[in-house]
Amino acid sequence: MKDWSARAAALYDKGFRPMFVDGKWCAAASGEVFEARNPADGSLLATVPKGGAADIDAAVTAARRAFEGPWARWTPFERQALLLRIAERFEAEWQDLCLSDTLDMGMPISRVLANSRRVLGMLRFYAGQAVALHGATIPNSFPGEILSQTLREPVGVVGAIIPWNAPIAGSVWKIAPALATGCTIVLKPSEEASLTVLMIARLMAEAGLPEGVLNIVTGLGSEAGAALAMHPGVDKIVFTGSTATGQSIARAATGTLKRVSLELGGKSPVIVCRDADIDKAVPVAAMSVFANSGQICIAGSRLFVAREIHDEFVRRVAEYARNLRTGPGIDPETEIGPIISGRQADRIGRFVQAGRDEGAELVTGGTRLEGPGHAGGHFIAPTVFAGVRDDMTIAREEIFGPVISAMPFDDLDEVVRRANDTPYGLAAGVFTTHLGTAHKLARRLRAGNVWINMYHAIDPAVPFGGVKMSGYGREGGIEHLDEYLETKAVWINTD
């Protein structure tokens, strides 16, 4: 077993970590800072600039200058080579990147390390796409020698705002398509987890990224994030986070009619049919929520189980939950890490109390964990509720914590209606051994992602996104690149 303690002490020494604007490391214009603390024990990791509107303006100006300057002359093959060099730098420092995520936002180190295929795959996938972008020659109805064709051009300066629950993957999912298409980018990480994103900026600069192409402004969402969303120099805003914040960003973008992509919240259903393989379904259904302590937008927090197997299935999920090892993410044996902050832990606690007050049966968990291995941190035991009604708070609202709401169902028409009865539509899971049932539910569930006999599968080549109040636009796949490109029609009279 690897001991990460010494490496962790060397990685962050409570010092100042500047932000990255126009290829330079700098403090905020105001000189203000905020603290980055380890959610597992409350210890100080570093101080970070508290950027504001002036810093966003400087970053957008740098990004515009780069977009209209040397970066515009880079060929697709040069952009591809850059992305491949960045992938090599990530691979060389992968352990430190993962350790940074673990320290800054609490994800268990074993889980972060396992994301290498996805993150490195994203960089290499978009590197491949950089040289595959092209327009088309289109037949038209005009007589004579008139040629019509399209060009695919970068949208311009991209403003990106990411949440705290997966800094490495979240950053790359915004930066890589921007670089592949020839855009420039200003990225505002969450104030809850900024350190890994600053490390990413360093690695990309070391790989040869030109000045101003990538800019990182740290700060509060209400200040730096709002300034980025409203800035007239930003051509596109891309956001991952809560639905409420996404609505605010969409409103802010209307002033300049900038393009917007939103990946927002979810209240995803997991449906376990009577013919499901229970042995295989129990751990997957449980971890659809408990992974990353429930702090994941696609969490399968509404568990619908066929009535014939409901009691047994819920009992086994609760048993699985009780056996999960909760503790600091730096411990390689930890399966469930801390909640990001005391404020978020308190919010989850209020949902648990609402479930009890509204009559749901608390089968296991629901408590704050303290004592050895949990001192100073924000830990909540994996929680399972039974006897949940569709109208209960815990069945309607996104909790963003390790809480499962289990409910029985009698037939497929009923469960489809209930599963779709939510303002969200990000993801869904189905467990069945019947191929016809799998296809039928995949078609009828209103969600951007449906997993059959599995969960959490995300690949760079496959589009990801939601419907309804879970946002619009896609990340991953060739559809993702369309979000960063404009299509220009060109007409040529050759006669």
Residues known to be catalytic: 263, 297
Q: Where does 323-341 have alpha helices with state H?
A: none
CA 161, CA 156: separation in Å to the nearest integer? 16
Burial degree of 80 (CB within 10 A; 0-12, 13-18, 19+): buried
CA 246, CA 357: separation in Å to the nearest integer? 30
Six token digits for residue 215: 């800019």
Of residues 337, 342, 367, 338, the one with CA closest to residue 352 = 367
Residue 265 contacts residue 243 (beta carbons within 8 Å): yes
Strands (E), 335-387: 361-364, 368-369, 379-380, 383-386
Other Cβ atoms less than 10 A from the Cβ of 182: the count is: 24
Of residues 169, 66, 59, 64, the one with CA closest to residue 115 = 169
Six token digits for residue 227: 């300034």
Of residues 39, 48, 160, 198, the one with CA closest to residue 107 = 39
Six token digits for residue 358: 């509204």
Of residues 295, 225, 230, the one with CA closest to residue 265 = 295
Residue 125 contacts residue 478 (beta carbons within 8 Å): no
Residue 164 contacts residue 190 (beta carbons within 8 Å): yes
Residue 446: phi, psi to the nearest 5? -90, 90
What is the total residue count of the chain? 495
- The angle formed by the CA atoms of residues 26, 28 and 29, to the nearest 5 degrees, is 110
CA 82, CA 404: separation in Å to the nearest integer? 43
Cβ-defined contacts of 466-469 (< 8 Å, 24+)? 466/263, 466/264, 466/266, 466/424, 466/425, 466/426, 466/427, 467/425, 467/426, 468/422, 468/423, 468/424, 468/425, 469/243, 469/264, 469/265, 469/423, 469/424, 469/425
